[in-house]
Amino acid sequence: AQKVTQAQTEISVVEKEDVTLDCVYETRDTTYYLFWYKQPPSGELVFLIRRNSFDEQNEISGRYSWNFQKSTSSFNFTITASQVVDSAVYFCALSEAPGYSGSRLTFGEGTQLTVNP
Amino acid sequence: DGGITQSPKYLFRKEGQNVTLSCEQNLNHDAMYWYRQDPGQGLRLIYYSQIVNDFQKGDIAEGYSVSREKKESFPLTVTSAQKNPTAFYLCASSYSTGGPTEAFFGQGTRLTVV
C-alpha cells in the first residue's frame, strides 16, 4: 500500500526566511509520480509540481525548489525568501503509474505554513 | 474561463437525509474525482471516474454514491448510511491518458450535519 508522511504539522516563519517542507513516501512500485499542491484559505488545491520516479533532478521555479531523493524516499519542498502570500496548507501526494492514468492520489496529512510579516 | 465549479459552497444536512453535491467541469477532462478532507488530515479518495458511465470506488466509498452521465458532471450523493459526513468535499478532474497528470480542483463544499 502507498503512504505519504508529512511529519511537520505546522511551521511558522518570519517573512524572508527560507523554509523546507518535508515529505517521505512509501510505495512498492518502481514507477510512480510525486506531486505538491498548495491549499490557500479559499480551499481549492493548486498544483505546484509533478515528478516521476525516473527523474531525480532537482527543480527550481522562482522561489520554489524541490529535492527528490529516491534513496531516502523523500521529496522535499523549499521556499526561499518566504512571503506572507505563501501562507497555506501544503500537500505532498503520490500516484502509482502502472495500469492507470489520470490522477488518483494518495495525500499526506499536509503542513500548515504560516509566514508572519 | 475553464475550471471546476462545485455547489453549494456550504451545505447543512439533517440526520437521516441524503444530500447531493454538484461538480461541473468545462476543461474537457475525461477523469473526475471526489475527495474528502477532515480537519488536520489529508485528502482521501471517495470515488473516481475515468470515462462517462463508468466509475470506481476509492478508499472510503461506503455511504456515498456517484453517477457520471455526462462528461462535464460528476455529482456525489452523501447517503444516510454515511455515519460521519461532516467534512470538506473536493471535486477534481484531470486528463486520463499519458500517466498520472495534474488534477484541477474545485473550491469545495463544506458539509455539516445538524
Contact between B76 and B13 (Cβ < 8 Å) = no
Chain B touched by A41 (CB under 8 Å): no
Element holding B31 (H helix, E strand): strand B31-37
Q: How far is B20 from B63, CA to CA, in rounded Å?
A: 12
User: What is the DSSP-derived secondary structure letter of residue B69?
Assistant: S
Q: Is B30 exposed, middle or buried (0-12, 13-18, 19+ CB in 10 A)?
A: middle
| Average pLDDT value over all residues in chain A | 90
Q: Is A67 exposed, middle or buried (0-12, 13-18, 19+ CB in 10 A)?
A: middle
Q: Which three cell numbers stand for residue A95?
A: 500516484
> Tens digits of per-residue pLDDT, A36-87?
999 999 899 999 998 888 887 778 889 999 999 999 999 999 999 999 999 9
The pLDDT of residue B99 is 66
User: DSSP assignment of A30-49, as one string?
Assistant: SSEEEEEEEE-TT---EEEE
Chain B touched by A105 (CB under 8 Å): yes
Q: How remote is the C-alpha of A53 from its chain's centroid?
A: 14
Of B35, B40, B98, the CB nearest to A101: B98
> Tens digits of per-residue pLDDT, B35-88?
999 987 889 999 999 889 999 999 999 999 999 999 999 999 999 888 899 999
Q: Is the pLDDT of residue A97 over 80?
A: no
Residue of B nearest to A9 (CA): B40
Select from B1, B10, B43 the residue whose CB has the most chain A CBs within 10 Å, as the one to mutate to test that interface.
B43
